[in-house]
Structure 1
Amino acid sequence: MNKFEDIIAQLPYTEPFLFVNEIEWVNEEEINGSYRFPKDSYFYKGHFKEHPVTPGVILTECATQIGVVCLGIFLISKEETPFEKEKFQIALTSTAMDFFLPVYPGEKVRVHAKKMYLRFNKLKCEVKMYNEAEKLICKGEIAGMMNLKP
């Protein structure tokens, strides 16, 4: 398993609420990852009648999982204390997202996040999500508190 697959394996999510397929690259300041929304995802059944669109809250979750949680796992794993999945906790603390384009069933998105700060276990990132044509879908700021249980 490479370091990118290892980060994804450490995520505290499973299907149908896992919104990370791949991490393309990561460093101490930024991360790039992607996800393809399956055409049969549960949330398309009612959003919207006969014209399914990915809900904004799901796009925000995808951006959070890639841009804050994956980056947070990477940053914590670089610390001296060994990373243990069962001890990792993260809680979303704030989001401010602007949406520009819809995401339809089957579409692949790419998330780029840049660390704004990591202080007192709070990670805040600027995130941008693009479609396969490299058009901006949404952007904003997302923050979460990270903690390792004793």
Structure 2
Amino acid sequence: MSVMDNVEIQSILPHRYPFLLVDRIRELDPDRRIVGIKNVTINEPFFQGHFPGRPVMPGVLILEALAQVGGVLAFKSLGAVGRPVVYLTGIDGAKFRKPVVPGDILRLEVDVLKKRAPFWKMQGRAFVESELVCEAEVTAMVTDEQAGGTK
């Protein structure tokens, strides 16, 4: 069961297709934890070149998906009004353990490690089924400026 669908996610994040990498949020515990889902399909534009004949989701996009889920967590934790921007400010200890391929359902788990306004430090882990495929510490900054674009 979804806590947030794609429409609500788009009301928070400024990202749009093809760069919106979160399809839904399954769990949300403000200030603590969030779980998001990305359905990986062969129609993703990056698969044309990464790699022809053997499609693999780029690791940097798995990290971006974790960061986007972390951005939703920060936004919902703050009870923000409007659309402040959450900027990725750092990635530490990134490890990629298994390729992510078309047909996989990427479960993106993010836990808050520390926060001191405006910075958030979070631990992100990406799973396919029960297997860990990526992990990293993500640091982000929440700003008061408004995100542009369309809803």
TM-score range, shorter chain: 0.7 to 0.9
Task: Give the structure-2-normalised TM-score.
Answer: 0.86
5 Å matches for 1:1-150? 4-5=4-5, 6-27=8-29, 28-66=31-69, 68-77=70-79, 83-85=81-83, 88-96=84-92, 97-132=94-129, 134-149=130-145
Opposite residue 4 of structure 2, the aligned amino acid is F
1:13–1:29 distance in 2 versus 1, CA, 3 Å: same
- Do the aligned residues in 2 keep the contact of 1:8 with 1:20 (CA within 8 Å)? no
- Do the aligned residues in 1 keep the contact of 2:3 with 2:28 (CA within 8 Å)? no
Equivalenced residues, count: 141
- Do the aligned residues in 1 keep the contact of 2:126 with 2:135 (CA within 8 Å)? yes
The separation in 2 between residues aligned to 1:26 and 1:43, in whole angstroms, is: 29
Task: Give the structure-1-normalised TM-score.
Answer: 0.87
What is the Cα deviation at residue 149 of structure 1? 2.4
Structure with bigger helix share is 1
- Do the aligned residues in 1 keep the contact of 2:3 with 2:25 (CA within 8 Å)? no
SS of alignment partner, residue 65 of structure 1? helix
1:69–1:54 distance in 2 versus 1, CA, 3 Å: same
The separation in 2 between residues aligned to 1:60 and 1:117, in whole angstroms, is: 19
Deviation above 2 Å: which 4+ runs of structure 1? 2-9
Structure 1 stretches of 5 or more lacking a match?
none
The separation in 1 between residues aligned to 2:58 and 2:102, in whole angstroms, is: 11
Q: Can you list the C-alpha shifts for 1:18-46, whole angstroms capped at 9, x where unaligned?
A: 11111111112111111101211111111
SS of alignment partner, residue 59 of structure 1? helix
- State percent identity of aligned pairs: 26
Q: Can you list the C-alpha shifts for 1:113-146, whole angstroms capped at 9, x where unaligned?
A: 11011112111100111002x1000111001110
- Do the aligned residues in 2 keep the contact of 1:7 with 1:74 (CA within 8 Å)? no
Opposite residue 144 of structure 2, the aligned amino acid is L
- Do the aligned residues in 2 keep the contact of 1:7 with 1:73 (CA within 8 Å)? no
Structure 2 stretches of 5 or more lacking a match?
147-151
